[in-house]
Amino acid sequence: MNTNHNLPHDSRHSAGQDSHHHARLIALILLAVLLFCPPLLVVVDRLPGVASLVLYLFGAWALVIGLGAWLMERSAKH
């Protein structure tokens, strides 16, 4: 993935990385909003099964947390 892990990075480098990191975070927030909001929920809700909506919600939640952890911890290394 990122080969710059061990390289000393100058401010320009880290600034670029910063904005990249921020862009990913914003994308993640938008994804979370999308996953947690009605249009998708209504679709899932119509699926058969007692707990399909609940399973979907926990699944989406875990996905968002996982992606968040991955992004945050990656940037924490820098």
- Interface residues toward other proteins, by CB under 8 A: 21-22, 25, 28-29, 32-33, 36-38, 41-42, 45, 50-51, 53-54, 57-58, 61-62, 64-65, 68-69, 72-73, 75-76
Tokens of 76: 């924490």
Q: What residue type is 23 in one-letter code?
A: A
To the nearest whole angstrom, how small is the minimum distance from the Cβ of residue 54 to other proteins?
5
Q: Which is nearer to other proteins, 8 or 38 (CB)?
A: 38
Q: Which is nearer to other proteins, 4 or 18 (CB)?
A: 18
Dump the DSSP string for 43-73.
Answer: HHHTSSSTTHHHHHHHHHHHHHHHHHHHHHH
To the nearest whole angstrom, how small is the minimum distance from the Cβ of residue 9 to other proteins?
16
Q: Is 45 exposed, middle or buried (0-12, 13-18, 19+ CB in 10 A)?
A: exposed
